[in-house]
Amino acid sequence: MDEYPQDVLRVAVLAGEPERSGFRAVLEDEGIEVVLDGILELPLPDSWHGAEVLLVGMDDRPVDRNKVRGLLQQSPVPVLLNHGGIGEGGIWSRRLVDKLQTLARRALPQAELDVAQNSRPELHVVDGVESKVERPTPWVIVLGGSIGGPRALAEFLAALPGNLPVVLLVAQHISEAFQDLLVEQLDRCSSWPVALMGEEQTLEAGQVWMVPAERAVEPGEQFTVRRSDHAWNSVCQPDIDALLEQVADKWQQRCGVILFSGLGEDGSRGCSAVAGNGGFVWTQSAESCTISNLPDAAGRACPVEFSGTPQELAKQLALRCQPFQPGIN
């Protein structure tokens, strides 16, 4: 007989108090067994009590980057990093459980998992005429944010459907030391791959690139962006204004900006450049922001076409930039 029931998801939790007890209550209400809870310390405990996935609470206190990176390297099971505390309502709880199930490969019945693991994808023959249909030129959308931005970005990406002809450039005010952790967190939020921009990057639809904080970037030939050899000429790292002005000049009517929660006015001047070149300017609604200074400043600088929660902004972007469908012009 198995030591652990096969139909119960087993989760280990590492977080501070009272967040740790809050996670336990949420998970147990959803029928999940919390087999271990504690604080984030290295080395990790030897006994995981049959845990299938590890949930780590990332609160707003300064995080030891090396400790978190060591956790990701040492954990014997998949890790879900949760930032922003414990949400309210059944929808938040359900999303948390869905992510844990996905990481633990418990979202499908075991029979279906066996098929998925042991079968090759089905091959499809594509008509020669349709195969020559060119994909539309992608939209270049800048996602700007400051304080409260990471949580809004995570909610936005989680609600954003795939197969959109857009490439997303994330310009989040954050120190260089923590950019890779934010990339890892956002990459877990949805099917959109998130990565830190390299020395020279080709922009293709379906990508999310984190703009570097320590070095400015410059658009290159066609759909390329490269790192400059100098820092941003601003106290803001990265400089949202400078990035938007470059994007507006390069991609004009095929660009847009969404400003999320944040402090200050970085981005307002750049929003005017985007609007002036035919692009669109959207903002997170003030009531859904942690701090609404950033989107409010954009509204004073130029007309804002749409404002809403991160989820509403994702839905609107899907309507504005229609998914690519082969064979349809």
pLDDT digits (tens, 9 = 90+) for 29-49: 888 888 877 776 666 666 666
What share of the chain has pLDDT > 70, as a percent? 75
Asked if the structure places residue 107 within a domain, the reply is: yes
Q: What is the pLDDT of residue 73?
A: 65
Based on the domain organization, do 81 and 229 belong to the same domain? Answer: no
Q: Best-predicted range by mean pLDDT among 187-196, 229-238, 316-325?
A: 229-238
Contact 212, 227 (CB under 8 A): yes
Of 12-26, 244-258, 289-303, the one with minimum mean pLDDT is 12-26
Final residue before a domain boundary, out of 117, 148, 182: 117
pTM of the complete model beyond 0.85: no
C-alpha–C-alpha distance, residues 221 and 227, integer Å: 13
Q: What is the pLDDT of residue 80?
A: 78
Q: Name the pairing type of β-strands 53-58 and 79-83.
A: parallel
Q: Using N-to-C axis directions, what is the helix angle for 268-276 and 240-251, rounded to 10°?
A: 10
129's tokens: 């005429």
Based on the domain organization, do 248 and 299 belong to the same domain? Answer: yes
The per-residue pLDDT for range 102-138, each reduced to its tens digit, is: 666 543 344 333 433 343 333 333 333 333 345 568 8
Q: What is the pLDDT of residue 328?
A: 40
Asked if the structure places residue 131 within a domain, the reply is: no
Q: What is the pLDDT of residue 229?
A: 86
Band of the pLDDT at 190, cuts 50, 70, 90?
A: confident
Of 38-47, 53-62, 68-77, 123-132, the one with minimum mean pLDDT is 123-132
The per-residue pLDDT for range 138-158, each reduced to its tens digit, is: 899 999 999 999 999 999 999
pLDDT at 97 exceeding the cut of 50: yes
Work out how many domains the chain is built from and give that number.
2
Asked if the structure places residue 70 within a domain, the reply is: yes
Peptide bond into 18 cis (omega under 30): yes
Q: What is the CATH number of the domain that holds 194?
A: 3.40.50.180
DSSP reduced 3-state for 320? helix
Based on the domain organization, do 297 and 154 belong to the same domain? Answer: yes
Compute the residue count for the chain: 329
Based on the domain organization, do 68 and 160 belong to the same domain? Answer: no
What residues make up the domain containing 316? 139-320
Choose between 236 and 131: higher pLDDT. 236
Asked if the structure places residue 133 within a domain, the reply is: no
Based on the domain organization, do 78 and 179 belong to the same domain? Answer: no
